[in-house]
Amino acid sequence: MRALIISVDLGDPDFTAHAEEFAMLAKGAGAEIVGTLTARRDRPDAKFFIGSGKADEGVAMAQALLADIVLFDQPLSPAQQRNLERAFNLRVVDRVALILDIFALRAKSHEGKLQVELAQLQHLATRLTRMWSHLERQRGGIGMRGPGESQLEMDRRMIGAKVKTLRERLDKVERQRVTQRRARARGGALSVSLVGYTNAGKSTLFNALTRADAYAADQLFATLDTTTRRIWVEGAGSVVISDTVGFIRDLPHNLIAAFRATLEETVHADLLLHVVDAASPQRDEQIFEVNKVLAEIGAAAIPTILVYNKIDRAGLEPRVERDAHGTIARVFVSATERAGLDALRGAIAETGQIVGNNAANYQTLQSE
């Protein structure tokens, strides 16, 4: 679809990087970007977010470029979205809906599709008052995957019933995951989860460590469905490694809630490998955003090793860094070049022993 992107600078010092990230999201959803309109504001306009003058400019631009969809890089209120769609006479998809759409596009497993549908329905429930009559002839495409346009005709009662059904089905999936985790725990295996900002190279690292063939690509949200493999690590024994969905700035809360079953793998891990794109200029902000989500899902206290991946692109050498207490804090690797992987395995073993000793001491205290 021919897309006009509207980027809004609200005084963000990293606006350019964030705008580039949104363009990647748009391309990931299959959009052909035909133009970008930039608006700078101190605060959002209540009616159009960008103000009536910029809205008029955008309408003229969309018409001249023959755009058939408008992608907005900020979350819009239902009223703002309705007003913009009336002005443009085009479908307007905001940041939240675009991320949901990419998740719908990427979800492969039954569980993943259920989780995306739940998130989309919850998002839709806040927008039932929108005027969709002028869009009824448009079918499919960006912002209309997953539940699709048939859901737009539902009232709140019907959506509520569907949401309840989806939650019940996901609760069943979660119970199955609990059973699987208990079985792994009885086997004495160290549980390790890969977490990180989307496109940091988690799946490539997962494949390098496990010799698996999980899908990996240079795109945002290439991985949605959790993949788990058991490997043998010298000094740690049997280790269960899980590759999970990546995070992103301003990840929709509905999505976090809907993907609870998937994210539970992270919450119940013994050790987190927080994978960072060492070559990204925004790596510190990305670390912050991932830590924010980890705190939101209750995983902030889990022992964590920062794994700086893609060092071949950053001109760095493989190495291990320790904190002031001598504990391993950072490991620098290249998953594609398989550099630093032995050091990472050693770090997993060393940290796993500490985790195991702490757990044993805790159980001893509990029994006294």
pLDDT given at position 138: 46
Can you give the length of the chain in residues? 368
pTM: 0.80
pLDDT given at position 157: 75
What CATH fold (topology level) applies to the domain 188-367? Rossmann fold (3.40.50)
- Domain ranges, ordered by start, for the chain: 2-156, 188-367
Ramachandran sector of residue 167 (left: φ over 0; alpha: ψ -120 to 50; beta: rest): alpha
Q: In the chain, what is the greatest distance between 2 CA atoms, to the nearest angstrom?
A: 76
Please report which confidence band the pLDDT of residue 133 belongs to, taking 50, 70 and 90 as the band edges.
Answer: very low
pLDDT given at position 225: 64
pLDDT given at position 103: 83
Residue 88 has pLDDT above 80, yes or no: yes
User: pLDDT tens digits for 291-327?
Assistant: 998 998 889 999 999 999 999 999 999 999 999 999 9
User: pLDDT tens digits for 195-230?
Assistant: 999 889 999 999 999 986 655 655 566 656 678 899
Token pair listed for 226: 């959790």
Inter-residue contact 242 to 192 (CB < 8 Å): yes
What mean pLDDT is predicted for residues 134-149? Answer: 52
pLDDT given at position 112: 79
Please report which confidence band the pLDDT of residue 53 belongs to, taking 50, 70 and 90 as the band edges.
Answer: very high
Residue 360 has pLDDT above 80, yes or no: no
Residue 353 has pLDDT above 60, yes or no: yes
Of the two residues 294 and 137, the one the predictor is more confident about is 294
User: pLDDT tens digits for 11-40?
Assistant: 988 899 999 999 999 998 899 999 999 999
Instruction: Share the mean pLDDT of the chain.
Output: 84
Q: Which helix (H) or strand (E) holds 22?
A: helix 15-28
- Could you tell me the CATH superfamily of domain 2-156? GTPase HflX, N-terminal domain (3.40.50.11060)
With residues binned 3-state (H G I as helix, E B as strand, rest as coil), the percentages for the chain, rounded to 5, are 45, 20, 35
Sign of CA dihedral 314, 315, 321, 323: negative
For residue 93, with 0-12 CB atoms within 10 Å meaning exposed, 13-18 middle and 19 or more buried, which class applies? buried
**Does 2-156 match 188-367 in CATH topology?**
yes
What mean pLDDT is predicted for residues 92-117? Answer: 85
